[in-house]
Structure 1
């Protein structure tokens, strides 16, 4: 398996505290990972750093064999890496337009976007909510819309922050059922989570952030 993303010397400080100091992080292509660790270990910050939402103090990056900076965050990574927040922010329009937003922002035509969004809504089980204001959605429905919004962008690397946190049983199961299918297009997924069932999914590689260091399991 080839390395999709390799990061060396990834350090992040909060004031006087070193949140993490990771000598090497390697994410292989078409592979799923869970990132575990106690609350406050820096899991969310690590994902946000990889997505360009937090600045790393020191690191070098290779993406798909090309050496790139993490700051300023390069366009190649912005197109290839998508971050899904634990509490996704939704625009007060409709489910359809929320999922379409990223494609339209890239300059794709409305005509080409429509069938892609329709397919993504069917995949996420939210087609019946097509014209609904996201403010009226449940937590599980919002998470499925967020996954569909990420999926249409066809990311090479998808970063999920606690995708099943605070969901009830049926909603959690619906979201969990979608996650393995995110690999169908050959991308990689890294999920920060505490969910034992997610951690135990077949074929999932484990990463643990402990005392600022990254352990491979």
Structure 2
């Protein structure tokens, strides 16, 4: 299996603290990973650097086999790598308009946008909230809308920051159920989390961040503490 994204010598400092010092991180195509580590380990920072939302120092990076720079961040990667925040920001309009935003920004015609939004709303199970203002959504609904908004952009790499944090049982289960369908569509998914059910999804590989380094990876069938 070929690497979608490869970075070597990735470093990030916060003041005097060396937050990240990663020798190598390789993410394969159409694969799922969970990124674990204690609070403050740098999981969110790492995802944001990979998404081009925060700057880090990097000795070498490759995307789809081509050498790239993470700063300035390549336009192709910005189109194909999507980051979803733990607390997604919603525009003050309807759910449907939120999902459509990225497609409209890319210049798709009205009919194409409408068709893709319809499919995404059905996929996320938020048909009942189609014309609802985001302020009236539950936490689980907001997370599913955020995933739908990301999915319609057909990312090759989807970076999810604590996608099930602070969700109750049913809402959490609904979000978890969407993850395998993203993989079926060929998307590589990296989830920063402590959720054992996400960690235990079939085929998910684990990356553990400790003292700024990716310490080890556990394959399916192996077990360890979530932190």
Q: What is the aligned partner in structure 1 of residue 47 from structure 2?
A: 47
Q: Which runs of 5+ in 1 are unaligned?
A: none
SS for the counterpart of 1:208 is: strand
State how far apart, in whole Å, the 2-side matches of 1:115 and 1:55 are: 36
**Structure 2 residue 26 is the aligned partner of structure 1 residue 26:** yes
8 Å contact from structure 1 (residues 9, 60) kept in 2: yes
Q: What is the aligned partner in structure 2 of residue 76 from structure 1?
A: 76
Q: What is the aligned partner in structure 2 of residue 216 from structure 1?
A: 217
Task: Report Cα offsets for 1:3-24 as digits up to 9, x if no partner.
Answer: 1000011100001110010011
Q: What is the number of residues matched between the two proteins?
A: 217
State how far apart, in whole Å, the 1-side matches of 2:111 and 2:179 are: 28
Q: TM-score normalised to the size of structure 2?
A: 0.94
Task: Report Cα offsets for 1:44-100 as digits up to 9, x if no partner.
Answer: 000000001110123321000111110111101101100000000000100000000
State how far apart, in whole Å, the 2-side matches of 1:9 and 1:65 are: 17
SS for the counterpart of 2:76 is: helix
Runs of 4+ in 1 over 4 A off after TM superposition: none
Q: What is the aligned partner in structure 1 of residue 225 from structure 2?
A: none
State how far apart, in whole Å, the 1-side matches of 2:10 and 2:186 are: 26
Q: TM-score normalised to the size of structure 1?
A: 0.98
Q: What is the Cα-based RMSD across aligned positions, in Å?
A: 0.7
SS for the counterpart of 2:24 is: strand
Q: What is the aligned partner in structure 2 of residue 36 from structure 1?
A: 36
Superposition deviation, residue 125 in structure 1: 0.1
State how far apart, in whole Å, the 2-side matches of 1:182 and 1:106 are: 21
Q: What is the aligned partner in structure 1 of residue 221 from structure 2?
A: none
Note the 1:11-160 alignment, pairs <5 A: 11-160=11-160
8 Å contact from structure 2 (residues 95, 129) kept in 1: yes
Of 107-116 and 42-51, deviating more is: 107-116
Note the 1:176-191 alignment, pairs <5 A: 176-191=176-191
State how far apart, in whole Å, the 1-side matches of 2:107 and 2:28 are: 30
SS for the counterpart of 1:155 is: coil
